[in-house]
Every structure is written in C-alpha cells, then in structure tokens.
C-alpha cells in the first residue's frame, strides 16, 4: 500500500492569494483524516502567528493521521516546531547547486554539515524525521545519492525527493527514483509540481520507480501551477495501477468542494476526477452507449468518487438522449415525439447554453402541438 502525504495546508496554501484561517485549517485537516489520509504536512511553525496556532490546534486534535511540520535546516525552525508540540518533522534543504549557491550562498559541504548536526539530536529525542531534498530533480544525481546515503546512516525515517520546479517527465522520474532505490533502503517519498502539467503522472512514475510515499494536495492546489492532485493520484493508483491506498474515494468530491470554497479557487468543469461535467454526457451516440452500459464511455462509476451522472440536452443530443431525459423527469415520450422535438432543441442549444430540466417540460407540449396542429 502507498501512503499519501497531503500537503494542502502547507504547500497548497503557498498558492498565490490563498490563505486559510486557523478554523479552516482545522476543518480541512479533520476531513482529510476522516477520509483516510494517513499523513499531513500542516504548516511552517517558524512563521509564528496564526500559522503556528493552526499547527498547535491540529496537533492537539490527536487525529489518527501523522501530523508533520515543514522546517529548514535551522535551529530556530526546529525550536518553533517543537514548541507547537510537533512529534514529526520535515527537515528540508536544497541539494541543487543553483539553490545551494545562489539562494543560500553556501557549498555542498554545508548541506551535509547541517543534516549531520541536526538529525542525531532529533532522533535522540524520539522524533519522526523526514528529510526533504529540495530541487533534487535539478541536482547532480550522485550528490543526491551521497546525501541520501548520509541520511540513511543517520537513521532518518524517510527521504523526500522534490521536483521543486516541475521539470521532470514520467520517464526521468522513474529513472531517478529507481536509481536511488537501487542503493537506498530508507523509505522514499516523491514530491512533484505541475509546471508542465505532469505532476500526477510524475507522482505515479515515482511510485513505479520505488517510492513508498507520495505528496499530494487537494485539487492540485499549490505554488505556480500546483502540485500532484490528491484525487487524480489516488484514482490513478487504484484504478490504473491496482495499487491500494487508504483513501475513501467516495468522499473525494466532498473534499474537493470544501477546499475549493475555502481557497477561493473554483474547480474547472472538466477537472479530472472531481469536475462537475466529467460524468455529463451530451452526444447522442455517447448517451445511447452509457444508457446501455455506462462503461462504454466512463472509466469508472461516478459513485466511486462521490459524483453523479448527468445527461445534458444540447446541440449534440440524439433521440435516445431526449427520450431518456424526459423519462427522468417523469414524462414518457416515444421516438416520434423525440424526433419532432430534436430540431428545435438543437436550434435553441446553438443560441444558448444546453437546455435545463425546468425548460424541457415547458418545451414539450407547445412543440408537439405546433407540429401536429393540435391546441392545448
């Protein structure tokens, strides 16, 4: 089984313009835990204020999920996390030369020294320590292996491989994680970003390459183009790769809606897994197929993610669509009736949005009356 690490409350909230209140963070954490998310990264305590308060409150809820905080390789970050009651910490440090030299003004040796100093002290206190290798995808692979070997020797609990700027492809992800897995026995985590639209694909490739943990966010919320999407990653693992997770998929739509509302980021109609229109069928050929056997045009039942199937009456509708739609509204019509209505429905749909359930019954009697010369 693969463990999902949800970082909506840390990396997700770093999406420009997104800010959760303490109460909202608590609500999101509670819901995520209830659907089976076993681990959550909930914030950066050294920021203080409401950030630290939210971390304290979530830890104080004693959820069954492991609660982690994000920290740099600095003593003040660690102290802030411990003051919030943290028992599990991410210790993160850049490992690419561009970030070590340009951002930190340091050398590779400094990275090794920082990890070597901090981790033994934390492990001595019985803390769960996960180490994040920031920008690992742009780092020298042999230096990544060198750092990973060092961390393994320090008995860290897991190592997070970060594609910080989202430049990996699934093929390269598989190769890099496989390379580490060949030499490193410590559990590995893959953390991906969506700058090229490949975050979820890279997350799956990381698992296939040997990662034991996957970082995700609800709706793919995150910096720049976002992160690997919780709902996409879970369903791809379970349905496409037959890899089990602990997540109750029937509640994915519920979680997506909550985070969408609280973040102020609407979910697109066509958003994979949770979009409102992904189980909406308009094409007459498709509707006919779905009525006969949903699997003809659906990769999985909508109920599996807490969604519903919809039949849309519009420009591309056919006779079967109209008959079925009217039946769902409690009106029985035959093929002749549907054929009479079809041209008008298509003309109306070309001029506006697809027809609503409230419009169709009003259209029914006048249309047939006009065609048959009847008066109602």
**Inside any domain, residue 269:** no
Q: Are residues 356 and 294 in the same domain?
A: yes
Q: Are residues 129 and 84 in the same domain?
A: yes
Residue 376, pLDDT score: 32
Residue 90, pLDDT score: 98
Residue 369 has pLDDT above 70, yes or no: no
Residue 367, pLDDT score: 58
Q: Are residues 320 and 295 in the same domain?
A: yes
Q: Are residues 284 and 252 in the same domain?
A: no
Q: Are residues 304 and 208 in the same domain?
A: no
Distance, first Cα to last Cα, the chain: 64
Q: Are residues 188 and 294 in the same domain?
A: no
Q: Are residues 16 and 105 in the same domain?
A: yes
**Inside any domain, residue 61:** yes
Q: Count of residues for the chain? A: 376
**Mind listing the pLDDT tens digit for each residue in 125-151?**
999 999 999 999 999 999 999 999 999
Helix intervals (H) in the chain: 22-34, 49-60, 75-83, 97-98, 108-124, 141-153, 170-183, 199-209, 230-235, 252-263, 284-292, 319-328, 335-351, 359-372
**Inside any domain, residue 250:** yes
Q: Which domain holds residue 338?
A: 280-372
Q: Are residues 89 and 15 in the same domain?
A: yes
Question: What's the CA gap between 15 and 181, in Å, rounded?
Answer: 31
Question: What's the CA gap between 133 and 191, in Å, rounded?
Answer: 10
Q: Are residues 197 and 298 in the same domain?
A: no
pLDDT category at 371 given cuts 50, 70, 90 is low
Residue 368, pLDDT score: 56
**Inside any domain, residue 272:** no
Q: Which of 234, 263, 292 is the last residue of a domain?
A: 263
Question: What's the CA gap between 192 and 199, in Å, rounded?
Answer: 5
**Inside any domain, residue 275:** no
**Mind listing the pLDDT tens digit for each residue in 207-240?**
999 999 999 999 999 999 999 999 999 999 999 9
**Inside any domain, residue 268:** no
**Mind listing the pLDDT tens digit for each residue in 237-258?**
999 999 999 999 999 999 999 9
**Inside any domain, residue 271:** no
Q: Which of 229, 263, 297 is the last residue of a domain?
A: 263
Residue 38, pLDDT score: 97
Residue 349 has pLDDT above 70, yes or no: yes
Cross-strand bridge partners of residue 91: 71, 131
Q: Which of 263, 296, 321 is the last residue of a domain?
A: 263
Query: What CATH number corresponds to the domain at position 175?
Result: 3.20.20.70
Report the C-alpha dihedral over residues 32, 36, 39, 43, rounded to 10 degrees.
0
Burial class of residue 217 (count of CB atoms within 10 Å of its CB; 0-12, 13-18, 19+): buried
Q: Are residues 15 and 90 in the same domain?
A: yes
Average pLDDT over residues 36-64: 98
**Inside any domain, residue 200:** yes
Residue 67 has pLDDT above 90, yes or no: yes
Share of the chain above pLDDT 70, in %: 97
Buried b (16+ CB within 10 A) or exposed e, 100-114: beeeeeeebeebbeb
**Mind listing the pLDDT tens digit for each residue in 71-100?**
999 999 999 999 999 999 999 999 999 999
CB 65 within 8 A of CB 36: no
Residue 273 has pLDDT above 90, yes or no: yes
Total of domains in the chain: 2
Q: Are residues 41 and 78 in the same domain?
A: yes
Tokens in use for 23? 């109460």
Q: Are residues 8 and 136 in the same domain?
A: yes
pLDDT category at 327 given cuts 50, 70, 90 is confident
**Mind listing the pLDDT tens digit for each residue in 177-203?**
999 999 999 999 999 999 999 999 999
**Where is average pLDDT lowest: 109-113, 272-276, 282-286?**
282-286
């Amino acid at each position: 089984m693969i463990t999902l690490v949800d970082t909506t409350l840390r990396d997700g909230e770093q999406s420009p313009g997104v800010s959760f209140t303490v109460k909202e963070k608590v609500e999101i954490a509670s819901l995520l835990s209830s659907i089976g998310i076993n681990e959550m990264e909930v914030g950066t305590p050294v920021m203080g204020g409401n950030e630290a308060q939210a971390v304290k409150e979530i830890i104080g809820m004693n959820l069954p999920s492991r609660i982690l905080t994000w920290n740099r390789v600095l003593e003040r970050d660690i102290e802030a996390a411990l003051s919030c009651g943290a028992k599990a910490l991410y210790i993160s440090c850049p490992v690419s030369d561009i970030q070590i030299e340009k951002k930190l003004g340091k050398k590779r040796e400094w990275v090794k020294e920082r990890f070597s100093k901090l981790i033994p002290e934390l492990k001595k206190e019985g803390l769960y320590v996960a180490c994040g290798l920031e920008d690992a995808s742009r780092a020298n692979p042999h230096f990544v292996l060198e750092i990973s070997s060092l961390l393994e020797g320090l008995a860290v609990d897991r190592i997070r491989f970060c594609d910080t700027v989202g430049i990996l492809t699934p093929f390269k992800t598989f190769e890099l994680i496989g390379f580490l897995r060949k030499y490193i026995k410590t559990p590995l985590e893959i953390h991906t970003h969506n700058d090229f639209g490949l975050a979820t694909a890279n997350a799956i490739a990381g698992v296939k390459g040997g990662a034991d943990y996957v970082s995700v966010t609800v709706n793919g919320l995150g910096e720049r183009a976002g992160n690997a999407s919780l709902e996409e990653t879970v369903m791809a693992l379970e349905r496409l790769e037959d890899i089990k997770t602990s997540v109750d998929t029937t509640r994915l739509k519920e979680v997506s809606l909550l985070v969408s509302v609280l973040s102020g980021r609407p979910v697109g109609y066509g958003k994979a897994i949770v979009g409102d229109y992904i189980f909406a069928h308009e094409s007459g050929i498709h509707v006919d197929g779905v009525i006969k056997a949903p699997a003809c045009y659906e990769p999985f039942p909508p109920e599996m993610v807490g969604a519903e199937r919809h039949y849309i009456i519009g420009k591309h509708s056919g006779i079967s669509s109209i008959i079925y739609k009217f039946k769902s509204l409690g009106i029985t019509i035959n093929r002749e009736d549907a054929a009479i209505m079809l041209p008008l429905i298509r003309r109306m749909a070309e001029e506006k949005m697809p027809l609503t359930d409230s419009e169709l019954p009003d259209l029914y009697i006048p249309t047939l009356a006009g065609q048959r010369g009847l008066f109602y």
